[in-house]
């Protein structure tokens, strides 16, 4: 009987520990995502200082949520000025060195080689979402919540929810406008 009580206590303590660890890991991922959005936002501000605008998708880019490929191209690898690849242009400015795919300093998830197909992933393995306040033609993007740019992650559940962010699927999204 004593052995059964000891085993029960051990099982209860293990369950409490595992639950607490799960909560801590989720909270850590949320904090990491917020920090990464802050870093990306800072890189976008530096980009704007140099070019006078935030990056937008080119004519062949996807409409709406331009995605993290636009971010990667603008902040680490500019395909327009550096068609030969990273390092070919010594004057090329890297706005966020932490995006280097050959390094894992920040824990970004991306392809192993810098390319036009690279994307920036959040702690849950989903692409960050990006939308410029102005589209490629210079017209104001009415879908954008901020006048400058929207930058967000779909959060732990990887579900976008509605555009107003009022449903339960959108409640865990992490963005630069909340």
Q: Which of 51-65, 76-90, 108-122 has the lowest mean pLDDT?
A: 76-90
Query: How far does CA 117 lie from the centroid of its chain?
Result: 15
Sign of CA dihedral 45, 46, 51, 55: negative
pLDDT of residue 58: 55
Q: How many angstroms separate the most distant Cα atoms in the chain?
A: 77
Region for 155 from its dihedrals, namely left if φ exceeds 0, alpha if ψ lies in -120 to 50, beta otherwise? left
Q: Taking residues 153-161, what's their average pLDDT?
A: 80
pLDDT at 127: 85
Task: Quote the pLDDT of residue 173.
Answer: 86
Residue 84, pLDDT score: 39
Query: pLDDT digit string (tens) for 109-136?
Result: 555 555 556 778 888 888 888 888 887 7
pLDDT at 56: 82
3-state helix, strand, coil in the chain (%, to 5): 35, 10, 55
Instruction: Look at residue 172 and tell me whether its pLDDT is greater than 70.
Output: yes
Distance of alpha carbon 69 from its chain centroid, rounded? 10
Residue with the bigger pLDDT between 5 and 118: it is: 5
User: Could you state, in order of their start, the residue ranges of all structural domains in the chain?
Assistant: 2-175
Using the predicted structure, report yes or no on whether residue 83 has a pLDDT greater than 60.
no
Residue 85, sorted as left (phi over 0), alpha (psi -120 to 50) or beta, turns out to be left
pLDDT surpassing 70 at residue 20: yes
Q: For all residues of the chain together, what is the average pLDDT?
A: 76
């Amino acid at each position: 009987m004593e052995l059964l009580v000891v085993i029960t206590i051990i099982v209860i303590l293990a369950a409490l520990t595992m639950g607490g660890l799960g909560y801590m890991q989720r909270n850590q991922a949320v904090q990491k995502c917020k920090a990464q959005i802050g870093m990306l936002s800072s890189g976008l501000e530096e980009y704007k200082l140099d070019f006078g605008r935030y990056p937008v998708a080119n004519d062949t880019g996807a409409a709406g949520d331009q995605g993290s490929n636009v971010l990667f191209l603008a902040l680490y690898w500019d395909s327009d000025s550096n068609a030969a690849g990273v390092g070919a242009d010594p004057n090329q400015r890297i706005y966020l060195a932490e995006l280097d795919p050959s390094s894992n300093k920040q824990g970004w998830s991306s392809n192993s080689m810098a390319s036009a197909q690279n994307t920036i992933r959040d702690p849950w393995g989903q692409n960050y979402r990006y939308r410029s306040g102005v589209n490629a033609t210079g017209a104001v993007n009415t879908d954008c919540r901020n006048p400058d740019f929207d930058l967000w992650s779909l959060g732990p559940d990887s579900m976008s929810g509605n555009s107003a962010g009022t449903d339960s699927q959108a409640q865990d999204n992490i963005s630069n406008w909340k």
